[in-house]
Structure 1
Amino acid sequence: MFQPTHDPITTWRNNVLGSIRVFEAIAAAGVPRLVYASSIAAYSPGPKEQPIDETWPTHGWPAAAYSREKAYLERYLDTFEVHHPSVRVVRMRTAFCFKAESAAQQRRLFMGPLLMNRLVRPDLLPALPTPKGFRFQAAHSNDIGEAYRLAAHSTSIGAFNISADPLIDTDVLGKLFSKPTVSLPSWIPRTALSAAWKLHLVPASPELFDTFLRLPVMDITRARDELGWTPQHSSTDAVEDFLRGLHDATGGNTPPLQSHIPGGRLHEVGTGAGQRP
């Protein structure tokens, strides 16, 4: 659950305590393999240029509930592995996950009602504003799903970084939108986001924005070498697919991915569409 960001106790009970119950149920039932959906957000802030491997510390960014919860569960699994050596634990540390069908849910989870789907049009922007230090990694949902399948059938254990190339930075985003970019000091969008969040106009918290700017760049060599995983879509393919879905109000046929939520809710308590397939 990303929401409600104004009530971190609720997300802690669901995400942390709920996950722990699942882990312990797995051990009690004698399930031989646990493939856990971790995240790039579990990582501590890292270098700006050099990619980090799976040995990089996973202390997260403590100010953001999502990152804090992911980091805590990494520590819990460290102990779990010692107490339950018969369970082969795999931790999937994925980058941002996109597809057209996830657009409606991701808009509800992160952007809220202020961003109308059909306003996502590059031709309406004279230039594309981006915060200083903007860069992120992404992958298509279908490729991430394949990585999970491979992990479930592999004999490997431990963590795997999952992402596609290229790294999406200001230059790549400008080419993606065919627009010049304008770099803004990060405090400007953060201040605007903080004000909107406090007024309950957007669901994404300013602390989540802080986490985003501090994310390291992951090296995916281990997933390629040990799982035999190779993404079939580039990161720009994934983002373009998402943007098309956002513009067309695309959704899926499962309840979390529906483009229109029964009862007229503007955003929902979801299950992490940003990083799960």
Structure 2
Amino acid sequence: MDVVVTGASGNIGSACVRELAHAGHDVRGLARRRPDGIGSGQGSVAWVAADVATDDLAPHLEGADAVVHLAWRFQPTHRPEVTWQTNVVGTRRVLDACSRAGVPAVVCASSVAAYSPVDHDEPVTESWATDGASGAAYCREKAYVERLLDDFEAGHPQTRVVRLRPAFVFQRSAASEQRRIFGGALARPWMFDVRRIPALPVPTGLRLQAVQSGDVGRAVTAAVERPVSGPFNLAAEGVLRRDELGELVGARTVPVPPGLVSGAMAVGWRARALPVPGSLFDALMHVPLMSSERAARELGWRPEHDAAHAVGQMLDGARLRAGSGMPPLHR
């Protein structure tokens, strides 16, 4: 199959390109910046420099059997009009281009953060409301994209639309990027060395699901190949709470009031010392746990890595300054 991937050089995109090419598909990777040392084509992957927010996308989608839309900007959080232009307007432009090019299948990355907040630990199915886990721009934009997909599905019944809602996605080669995005200049690589962590502060009530990027790539490949549609949760085995996080880093844990963390992040963000606002931490504390039973049943999805392994890859990668030739994933 001929598959176009937007945001192909990012954390999820780079893994999807690998998995799709490994499965024998011809891949067109669209990214704002072409990867280092790679020409217009390499093996079954052809790279195209294109910005979903501004460029004419329909010519790049002509003849595609499926479009996998992953393009997304997390920063700058102090300029939400910039992220909105890429994340929301860009998604609308991709869907419009898919319509004009007659693409028969669209696979779009949503997120656990699109879900409405919960006050329980019962795993939710894909039927849970998607109004955003907090007022953070990331959550608001993910929820708005869900509405764009609703409208697109209603107006294009002939197009197969799949939306994937992964938990927090990690891989070793994306660790330096994620350290920069979420920690900024204050988060230095040595801070992720477990030998330097005598005690780990953990917000009371924190529980975290995660998934490795390659496992998301395998789910995307299955969604491209199988005649499925609708939403799919993607979360690896295991839920990380205080005890599991302490075991992961080999340190004793110290409970911290969530309000204290949220308030400190809000102050740091307003002072531009931290790159993410406290509202994003609020989302982390209130996103639901997800059931991935539908993905297992209809996609045949069995993640190769559990949640602890995915988070461990990020910690190791951040400590070792891991990265790749993909521009967003530079060391």
What TM-score, normalized to structure 1? 0.91
**Are the aligned partners of 1:16 and 1:69 in contact in 2 as well (CA < 8 Å)?**
yes
Letter of the 2:92 counterpart: I
Aligned to 1:105: 177
Amino acid at match of 2:95: F
Counterpart residue identity of residue 94, structure 2? V
How far has the Cα of 1:197 moved from its partner? 0.9
Q: Are the aligned partners of 2:193 and 2:316 in contact in 1 as well (CA < 8 Å)?
A: no
Aligned positions of 1:103-182 closer than 5 A: 103-182=175-254
Match of 1:25 among 79, 97, 100: 97
Mapped contact 1:42–1:60 kept (Cα < 8 A): yes
Contact persistence 2:134–2:279 (CA under 8 A): no
Cα distance in 1 for partners of 2:218, 2:169 equals: 13
- 1:245 aligned counterpart, secondary structure: helix
Flag as ranges the 4+ runs of structure 1 deviating above 3 A: none
Tell me how far apart the structure 2 counterparts of residues 43 and 61 of structure 1 sit (CA, whole Å).
6
1:38 and 1:94 in contact (8 A); partners too? yes
Q: Which segment is superposed worse, 120-129 or 35-44? A: 120-129
User: CA RMSD for the aligned pairs?
Assistant: 1.0
Match in the other structure for 1:92: 164
Identify the match of residue 271 of structure 2 among 199, 203, 207: 199
Bigger RCO of structures 1 and 2 (CA < 8 A, at least 6 apart) = 1
Residue of structure 2 aligned with 1:220, choices 285, 292, 313: 292
Asked if the contact 1:46–1:52 (Cα under 8 Å) also holds between the matched residues in 2, the reply is no
Matching residue within 313, 324, 327 for 1:252:
324
Alignment partner of 1:239: what SS?
helix
Matches of 1:53 and 1:61 in 2, distance apart?
15
Alignment partner of 1:188 is 2:260: yes
In the TM superposition, what whole-angstrom CA distance separates every residue of 1:137-188 from its partner, at most 9, and x where no partner exists? 1011111111111111110100000010101111110111122211111111
Asked if residue 43 in structure 1 is aligned to residue 115 in structure 2, the reply is yes
State which of 138, 145, 149 in structure 2 corresponds to 1:77. 149
For residues 195 and 24 of structure 1, the distance between their equivalents in structure 2, rounded to whole angstroms, comes to 40
Q: Deviations over 1:15-63 (max 9, x none)?
A: 1011101011101111000000100011001243210000000011351
1:100 deviation in Å? 0.8
CA distance in structure 1 between the aligned counterparts of 2:205 and 2:223, rounded to whole angstroms: 32
Tell me what 1:53 maps to: 125
1:131 & 1:198 partners in 2: Cα distance? 21
Q: Helix, strand or coil: the match of 2:238?
A: strand
Contact in 2 for aligned 1:8/1:65 (Cα 8 Å): yes
Q: Does 1:230 align with 2:302?
A: yes
Secondary structure at the residue paired with 1:76?
helix
> Structure 2 CA distance, aligned partners of 1:115 and 1:108?
7
Percent of aligned pairs sharing the same letter: 43
For 1:89-130, what per-residue CA distance to the aligned partner results, in whole angstroms no more than 9, with x for missing partners? Answer: 000000111111001110111100101102212232332111
| Counterparts of 1:212 and 1:72, CA distance in 2 | 18
Q: Deviations over 1:201-224 (max 9, x none)?
A: 121111111111110000000000
Partner Cα distance (2:297, 2:233) in 1: 12
The alpha-carbon deviation at position 76 of structure 1 amounts to 1.6
State how many pairs are aligned.
Answer: 259
Paired residue for 1:270? none
Q: Give the 3 Å change call, closer, same or farther, for CA 105–53 of structure 1 in structure 2.
A: same
1:8 aligns with 2:77: no
SS at match of 2:209: strand
Q: Is the 8 A contact 2:169 2:211 kept in 1?
A: yes
Q: CA deviation at 1:249?
A: 0.5
Q: Distance in 2 between matches of 1:10 and 1:125?
A: 36
- The aligned amino acid for 1:233 is H
Distance in 2, Cα, partners of 1:100 & 1:182: 27
Q: Secondary structure at the match of 1:15?
A: helix
Which structure 1 residue ranges, 5 or more long, are not aligned?
A: 260-277
Letter in 2 for 1:7: R
